[in-house]
């Protein structure tokens, strides 16, 4: 694989199929496939529409197979074979800033560009042909299903119309072209295989309907487009929409410009408000993830209004001082999302100096304080000032057969570090607002927090009451809090985390020296969930790691240089999603990427840390 900036030149089908691209529409919908144009996931498709943004996502247009002069440019995996083999004619795939496939057939050059209209469930596939001759056909392959799993074809009824067709099922799909004629001839193609789903132990075979074909006779140069939409019945002005989207994308700013589009993709609409989804392809908006992601995605690029809108949105969904764990499901099984909310509000004020937002959200912040200061369902403050939480209420919440893999029931080191830091932050906000504030609780929490120190390991217990001496990355959050622990202990934590947990792509969730360590994130759902927080590497943890590294070294030039050196591998990935950062990596070499190809807090924390180390 040769990659220069945003360009990929595959050496083989496998080489190109290992790289994935995605464009979004600001609703949670997207178009996504591999760099050779094949679909290796049930989540891949040219139109995945968010019917109730950002959720209820449906796969409608799976692929659009081109054929020029009888030569196919498509690629599909069927049992035992890749057919056709259009990758042989693919010269390069690039994002500049729109995804573009460039093919050559003899002296002909075919460019295919894919993008979505922002704010619509509409995908435009544009073609630019140079020196083309003969008949060009485009065969749409469609389905109508939840994007979560390959499944049987439903009944799809076709209503051909001028230069296209309307396909009616549980969700309607309109396919139209500006210049190509449409000829209906329904054919079902069988046994498409999605290799990534096979590896993940999920449904990985299905059939697709080809309702007909678009056709255009080529005699030299040509430009035309095909539109897939849930609602449009007429062609938009394609050139205008291209320019509009190009201008929007090029105006995006980011501490690392190649991640600007990825950062933008997570900001979505929900019920007329703004939210942040946790990752593509399959996550929706999660409270904890959104609050951790907000500074890196929005504040670092000075999108203060968008950040404020997200904070207001989640504040409205707060229930008795608890932020929802999953906003779509309105589930509140989290002990730390509200503590991250405090951090996000304070980060917004630190960057924007918008005291009016702080004043608006102050009652919600006080709700968080009251809820955590008293015992309640799932979690609450003990008599020593520390917060005790039940099993699987932290970010390490994976379960197998209903049982927590990493229970962490008790007093967790990062939750109580966030609790102390949140109290200190709220004290500062109270001063800015002229509100009264009592400082005793923070002092009590700090005094009690010293019990987390484990002199045998030279770092923190992951949990106390009862004690859990597992060496995990959660303690790095405490090491970054300036005055919670003595400097010598903070430095010791950093040393232990660096020795046992640091990899080029993030921090392991458990020391490899622990007998429970699992170095591969692979297999079916149960096998993957068992490894999720038992050694698997998480890139988002590089944010707290850099915070601690800089803090204990007084933000020296050398510590900034070292921080950027640690972040660099995540900015030069040659596998997985293009111009983004995935959810996880294997704990063991060669640290293969896994999980979501594009994860909000992975992108966000790398951006925030990179900017902080500048």
For the chain, the domains span: 2-250, 501-614
So what's the pLDDT on residue 2? 34
Average pLDDT in the chain = 96
Question: Is 4's pLDDT higher than 60?
Answer: no
Alpha-carbon span 117 to 124, nearest angstrom: 8
Distance in angstroms (rounded) separating the CA atoms of residues 98 and 591: 29
pLDDT band at 329 (very low <50, low <70, confident <90, very high): confident
Instruction: Please write the tens of the pLDDT for every residue from 461-516.
Output: 999 999 999 999 999 999 999 999 999 999 999 999 999 999 999 999 999 999 99
In this structure, CATH architecture of domain 2-250: Distorted Sandwich (2.70)
Reported confidence tier of residue 1, pLDDT bands at 50, 70, 90 = very low
pLDDT confidence band for 574 (50 / 70 / 90) = confident
- Provide the token pair at 390: 């039940």
User: Is residue 157's pLDDT more than 90?
Assistant: yes
- The predicted model gives 146-155 an average pLDDT of 97
User: Beta partners for 45?
Assistant: 32
In three-state form (DSSP H/G/I as H, E/B as E, the rest C), the secondary structure along 398-413 is CEECCEECCCCCEEEH
Three-state secondary structure of 298-356: HHCCCCHHHHHHHHHHHHHCCECCECCCECCCCECCCCCHHHHHHHHHHHHHHHHCCHH
DSSP state of 113: E
Q: Would you state the pLDDT for residue 5?
A: 52
- Which tens digits make up the pLDDT trace of 27-79? 999 999 999 999 999 999 999 999 999 999 999 999 999 999 999 999 999 99
Contact 300, 611 (CB under 8 A): yes
In this model, does residue 3 exceed pLDDT 50? no
How confident is the model over 121-147, as a mean pLDDT?
97
Q: Read off the pLDDT of each residue in 233-257 and give the average, rounded to a whole number.
A: 96
In tens, the pLDDT along 292-308 reads 999 999 999 999 999 99
* For residue 7, pLDDT beyond 90: no
């Amino acid at each position: 694989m040769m990659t220069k900036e945003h360009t990929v030149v595959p050496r083989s089908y496998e080489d190109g199929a290992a790289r994935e691209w995605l464009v979004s529409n600001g609703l949670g919908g997207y178009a996504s496939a591999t760099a050779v144009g094949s679909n290796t996931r049930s989540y891949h498709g040219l139109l995945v529409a968010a019917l109730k943004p950002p959720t209820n996502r449906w796969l409608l247009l799976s692929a659009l197979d081109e054929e020029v002069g009888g030569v196919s440019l498509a690629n599909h995996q069927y049992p035992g074979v890749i057919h056709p083999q259009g990758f042989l004619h693919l010269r390069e795939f690039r994002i500049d800033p729109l995804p573009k496939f460039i093919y050559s057939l003899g002296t002909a050059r075919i460019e295919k560009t894919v993008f979505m209209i922002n704010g619509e469930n509409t995908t435009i596939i544009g073609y630019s042909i140079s020196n083309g001759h003969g008949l060009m056909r485009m065969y749409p392959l469609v389905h109508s299903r939840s994007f979560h799993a390959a499944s049987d074809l439903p009944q799809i009824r076709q209503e051909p119309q001028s230069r296209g067709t309307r396909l009616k099922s549980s969700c309607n799909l309109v396919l139209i072209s500006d210049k190509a004629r449409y000829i209906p001839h329904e054919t079902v193609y069988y046994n498409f295989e999605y290799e990534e789903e096979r590896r993940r132990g999920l449904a990985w075979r299905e059939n697709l309907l080809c309702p007909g074909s678009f056709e255009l006779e080529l005699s030299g140069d040509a430009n035309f487009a095909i539109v897939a939409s849930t609602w449009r019945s007429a062609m938009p002005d394609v050139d205008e929409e291209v320019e509009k989207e190009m201008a929007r994308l090029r105006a995006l700013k980011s501490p690392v410009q190649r991640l600007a589009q990825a950062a933008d993709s997570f900001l979505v609409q929900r019920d007329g408000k703004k939210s942040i989804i946790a990752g593509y392809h399959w996550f929706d908006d999660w409270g904890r993830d959104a609050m951790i992601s907000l500074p890196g995605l929005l504040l670092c690029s000075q999108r203060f209004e968008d950040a404020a809108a997200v904070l207001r949105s989640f504040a409205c969904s707060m229930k008795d001082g608890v932020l929802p764990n999953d906003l779509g499901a309105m589930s509140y099984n989290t002990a730390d999302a509200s503590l991250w909310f405090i951090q996000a509000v304070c980060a917004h004020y630190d960057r924007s100096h918008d005291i009016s937002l702080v004043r608006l959200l102050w009652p919600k912040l006080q709700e968080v304080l009251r809820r955590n200061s008293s015992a309640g369902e799932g979690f609450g403050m003990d008599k020593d000032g520390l917060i005790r939480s039940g099993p699987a209420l932290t970010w390490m919440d994976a379960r197998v057969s209903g049982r927590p893999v990493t229970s962490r029931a008790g007093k967790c080191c990062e939750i109580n570090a966030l609790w102390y830091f949140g109290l200190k932050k709220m004290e500062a906000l109270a001063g800015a607002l002229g509100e009264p504030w009592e400082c005793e609780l923070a002092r009590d929490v700090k005094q009690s927090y010293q019990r987390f120190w484990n002199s045998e390991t030279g770092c923190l217990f992951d949990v106390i009451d009862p004690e859990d001496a597992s060496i995990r990355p959660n303690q790095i959050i405490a090491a970054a809090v300036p005055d919670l622990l003595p400097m010598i202990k903070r430095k010791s934590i950093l040393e232990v985390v660096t020795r046992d947990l640091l990899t080029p792509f993030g921090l392991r969730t458990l020391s490899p020296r622990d007998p429970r360590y699992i170095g591969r994130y692979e297999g079916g759902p149960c096998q993957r969930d068992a490894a999720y927080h038992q050694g698997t590497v998480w890139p988002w943890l590089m944010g707290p790691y850099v915070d601690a590294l800089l803090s204990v070294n007084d933000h020296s030039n050398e510590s900034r240089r070292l921080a950027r050196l640690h972040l660099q591998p995540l900015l030069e990935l040659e596998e997985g999603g293009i111009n983004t950062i995935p959810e996880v990596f294997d704990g063991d070499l060669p640290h293969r990427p896994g999980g979501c190809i594009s994860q909000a807090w992975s992108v966000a924390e790398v951006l925030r840390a990179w900017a902080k180390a500048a």
